[in-house]
A and B are shown apart, each in its own frame.
Chain A
């Protein structure tokens, strides 16, 4: 079945550092790929998505590129802020109608001033 593997956390960075959170997946066909962010005490928010190979999703300075050849969707940001401290979830879903969404287990990011 489908699966998503993301790097174990927590990840601790200093403000303005470069961020990479790795995500790899196993799926049949061409799923949509997502990054969600969860701030403390809140629900998940869709951060960015990509629906086909080589697509780049971007939002709020975060980027991720759909790499079919390496089955990866790594999240990057050039300069993190304290306000980016949250848990980040990689996820995938087959396209078309209702399809089961498979989530990774989440990576906690802590940014220190």
Chain B
């Protein structure tokens, strides 16, 4: 049982480049979310999904896209990377958010 798997663990991008952060879970969870973690700001919700084919915006969605074609996968796309997107990104999944999340180990992204 792998839980929530995120790849890559580390990434350096140049300003303007695009990339996709991968997230996969093997627990058949309906709900999946992407957060970014910045010093002193806690975790902020970027996008979330309540099931295959259904996504919605969180607090800080600008500059990011998501899709959910399967229950297992929830990739996060950076369209045109900016230094302000330097952060640690976490994917999380749950049967219901009142039950608690399972988090991935994170992707540390640096945009130069």
A binds B: yes
Size of the chain B interface, CB-CB below 8 angstroms: 26
Chain B residues 83-112 with CB under 8 Å of chain A are: 90, 92, 96-106
CA distance A40 to B100 in the complex (A): 21
The one of A46, A95, A104, A106 that contacts B101, using a Cβ cutoff of 8 Å: A46
Size of the chain A interface, CB-CB below 8 angstroms: 26
CA distance A24 to B80 in the complex (A): 39
Chain B residues, CB < 8 A from A43: 4, 6, 90, 92, 103-106
A56-73 to B contact mask, C-beta < 8 Å, 1/0: 000000000000000000
Known contacts A95-B98, A105-B40; decide if A44 and B50 are in contact (CB<8 Å): no
Question: In the complex the two chains form, is A98's CB within 8 Å of B96's CB?
Answer: yes
Question: In the complex the two chains form, is B98's CB within 8 Å of A94's CB?
Answer: yes
Instruction: Give 3 nearest A-B pairs by CB, closest first.
Output: A43-B103, A95-B98, A105-B42
Interface residues of B (CB under 8 A from A): 4, 6, 30-31, 33, 40-43, 45, 48, 50, 58, 90, 92, 96-106
